[in-house]
Structure 1
């Protein structure tokens, strides 16, 4: 059921799965003080709070089954104190998967 909102990408040392489930969206809204629509629009308009990128990645990992401790450790190692150009694409793709869903893969 969550396949449509699941994003898979390389992060840290291997490919990982990210899902912003309903509880993770609620936590993201609480942490950022923004509704999901407002945050999405800020991402699209490149007017987002920098900490939101890290939180989207961390909560996406947790939503996909990574323990909160491991998600924090991964974000501390691979998303903190990094150029935003490195973290923005991943955070945006995680949010985009939740906002628009993933396109169906067409068999070749």
Structure 2
């Protein structure tokens, strides 16, 4: 699960395996091709990754669509691209390790 500020608050994002076929259908590309070409992602790939990531993170599909419609234009494209990269990285390699609150002795 990836947490990031989007729109009006911090939200959970996760591109779960059951959403991969929908991303592939929407983009016309296999998940491997999407991952391999993340530096050249098209706008649709970025937006759909974010929207499906919201859904996988627990946001109702209608709310996810409304959030994307309301906030995509409010975020710089580079920021959205980085969010999509984080979502895809979590899918491909697993979530990044959370920092430990323990202090090394």
| Alignment TM class, shorter chain as reference | 0.7 to 0.9
> Quick check: 1:98 aligned with 2:87?
no
Cα distance in structure 1, aligned partners of 2:5 and 2:75? 16
Gaps in structure 1 of 5+ consecutive residues: 1-5
Quick check: 1:61 aligned with 2:54? yes
Q: Write the distance in 2 (CA, Å) between the matches of 1:86 and 1:64.
A: 19
| TM norm structure 2 | 0.88
Label 1:31 to 1:106 Cα distance change in 2 as closer, same or farther (>3 A).
Answer: same
Structure 2 partner of 1:16: 11
Within 5 Å, give how 1:6-85 maps onto structure 2: 6-43=1-38, 46-80=39-73, 82-85=75-78
Q: Which has the higher contact order (CA 8 A, sep 6+)?
A: 1
Check conservation: 1:58, 1:72, Cα contact below 8 A.
Answer: yes
Indicate the SS of the match to 1:97: helix
What is the aligned partner in structure 2 of residue 3 from structure 1?
none
Cα shift at 1:103: 2.7
Whole-angstrom CA distance in 2 between matches of 1:32 and 1:80: 20
Larger radius of gyration: 2
The 3-state SS of whatever aligns with 1:28 is helix
Dislocated runs of 4+, deviation >4 Å: none
How many residues were matched structurally? 101
